[in-house]
Amino acid sequence: MLDLKLIREDPEGVLERLRRRDPTLSLDELLAQDKRRRELLVQVERLKQQRNRASDEIAELKRQGRDASAEIAQMQEVARRVRELDQELKACEADIERLLVVLPNLPHPSVPVSQRKEDKVLLREWGRKPELGFKPRNHVELGRALGILDFERAARIAGAQFPMHVGLGARLEWALLSLMIDMNVREHGYTLVLPPYLANPTSLFVAGNLPKFGDQLYRCESDDLYLIPTAEVSLANLHRGEILSESDLPLRYAAYSACFRREAGTYGAGERGLIRVHQFNKVELFKFTTAETSYDELDSMVQDAERILQRLGLHYRVMLLPSGDIAQQSAKTVDIEVWLPAQEAYYEVSSCSNCEDYQARGGNVRYRTEEGRIRFVHTLNGSGLATPRLMVAILESFQQEDGSVVVPPALRPYLGGVEAIR
RNA sequence: GGAAGGGUGGCUGAGAGGUCGAAAGCGCCCGACUCGAAAUCGGGUAGGCGGGCCAAAACCCGCCUCGUGGGUUCAAAUCCCACCCCUUCCGCCA
């Protein structure tokens, strides 16, 4: 969530930045409630002070064995008034909380201002589109023909848009995950985490998924738990409520998890097969940093994700997202998009965000500086990477005219040396 | 699922209606001793909110916080209720 003090001190500045993301946002009610809260606080605190002093006096009188009934009678009235004001204050604070949590993070100055998601900015490209010399088959056809993807039987088990990998398809998926874990742990210095796949409501509020995006989540009602849409949820809550030491930062975690998304209302034309699914595998990168280093850490996180695509030999481009298209909790987001030959389009395979102190404030994750001051950490998250579209990219980019698919050399050690799927 | 015990500062742990934001120890910081260090000795060491002053920092004052939320009381870490979590044992099951 945003810093209420900052909103109070510079409402125009905050509102201007908020409206880069959503021109309909307003702070009027929030500011009014905040003012009211502070007025109530002053009132109720004055009464409590009176009560505390009287309590000391009553205690002293009793110790001396003297009568305190006059003072006690007087305090009964004060206590009643305190209860009333406390209730009013509580309602006011609940209103503030409700208004505050729906406000998105402030975009970083480098983020292009636009409500149109097409207005993303190309930062760089790597490689080139593969020249197959024949009309590319899409991954659904390839997967079915090779017997490595089985959506029909998966639907029998769970419904549409659930993938099922079989045989070399499953092994290829596993190989991808193994490669990503190895590179991120051994070459990029992340600590591997296997987190819970279910999370409580608090965790989803901290991560930024609730309250606004609950319709995208699978919920286990009888236990009041949610299936995580990304391991970002688990990792953002890993140090919830802690005060870390500056010397421990940055903390870099890489988590493997399955991810679950309802994708309500997103049935896109042509998004068949693995392009948009309700369940997928992902290695998620997450960092806790100081304010000073978080943007350098964002750059290096994007590069960590890019190196995996480079190792696989997949053509991609890196895009800076505009203000209207970044996630609630993010101040700046960089997407990596891989080229999918049969779709003839670039598709997101990684989304790296700096959430600055937005998640940290909600989760109360702080650190003590060398000088002893306490500040909120910055949190960053990024896919490194999600597998479904990687699988699409591999099948479609490395397909041969005879319908076989050449396995990228980097994956072969994980597949017992298999060079092609046919 | 059943039973018992327990959640107190960075950590261990005492406190069982008022003098308790909280003993003691450890850790950490500062100082003394020392050429320097260790040991020793002295001092300091939780967080949040609000106000004084709004431009920050420092300082001062007040309020709140002993798992969370309610209740009793003039007054709650302490008594009552509900919930959450942890530990141990039993049962069940990968």
Q: Could you read off the pLDDT of A259-307 as tens digits, one per residue?
A: 999 987 776 656 788 988 999 999 999 999 998 899 999 999 999 999 9
Q: Which of A348, A254, A267 has the alpha carbon at shortest distance from A301?
A: A254
- Lowest average pLDDT, out of A176-190, A257-271, A348-362, A381-395, goes to A257-271
Active site residue A276: yes
- More confident call, A339 vs A94: A339
Question: What is the ipTM score, two decimals?
Answer: 0.82
Instruction: With a cut of 90, say whether residue A94 has pLDDT above it.
Output: no
Q: Which residue is nearest nucleotide B51, judged by alpha carbon to C1' distance?
A: A42
The domain boundary residue, chosen from A36, A67, A101: A101
Residues with CB under 7 A from strand B: A 4-5, 9, 38, 41-42, 44-46, 48-49, 51-56, 58-59, 62-63, 72, 75-76, 78-79, 83, 90, 243, 366, 373-374
Percent of chain A with pLDDT over 90: 66
Check A20, A276, A361, A366 and give the catalytic one: A276
Tally of domains in chain A: 2
Provide the residue range defining the domain that includes A336: 117-421
Chain B positions within 7 A of any protein Cβ atom are: 10, 18-19, 47-51, 55-56, 58, 62-64, 70-71, 74-75
Give the residue-averaged pLDDT of A397-410.
Answer: 96
Quick check: is A108 in a domain?
Answer: no
Q: Is residue A110 part of a domain?
A: no
- From A101, A136, A168, give the residue that closes a domain: A101
Residue A309 has pLDDT above 60, yes or no: yes
- Shared domain for A171 and A280, answered yes or no, is yes
Of all residues in chain A, the percent with pLDDT exceeding 70 is: 99
Q: Do A50 and A126 belong to one domain?
A: no
Number of H helices, E strands in chain A: 12, 16
Q: Does residue A175 surpass a pLDDT of 80?
A: yes
Is residue A185 predicted with pLDDT exceeding 70? yes
Check whether residue A192 and residue A227 sit in a common domain. yes
Catalytic residue check, A361: no
Q: Which of A32-46, A111-125, A335-349 has the lowest mean pLDDT?
A: A32-46
Q: In the prediction, which pLDDT does A67 show?
A: 78
Long-range contact pairs involving A93-100 (C-beta distance under 8 Å, separation at least 24):
A93/A37, A95/A29, A95/A33, A96/A4, A96/A30, A96/A33, A96/A34, A96/A37, A99/A29, A99/A30, A99/A33, A100/A1, A100/A2, A100/A4, A100/A30
Lowest-confidence pick of A106-115, A152-161, A241-250: A241-250
Same domain, A121 and A79: no
Please indicate, yes or no, whether residues A137 and A94 belong to a single structural domain of this protein. Answer: no
Residues A63 and A186 reside in one and the same domain: no
Instruction: Determine the nucleotide nearest to A4 by Cα–C1' distance.
Output: B49
Residues A229 and A357 in one domain: yes
Same domain, A354 and A259: yes
CATH number of the domain enclosing A81? 1.10.287.40
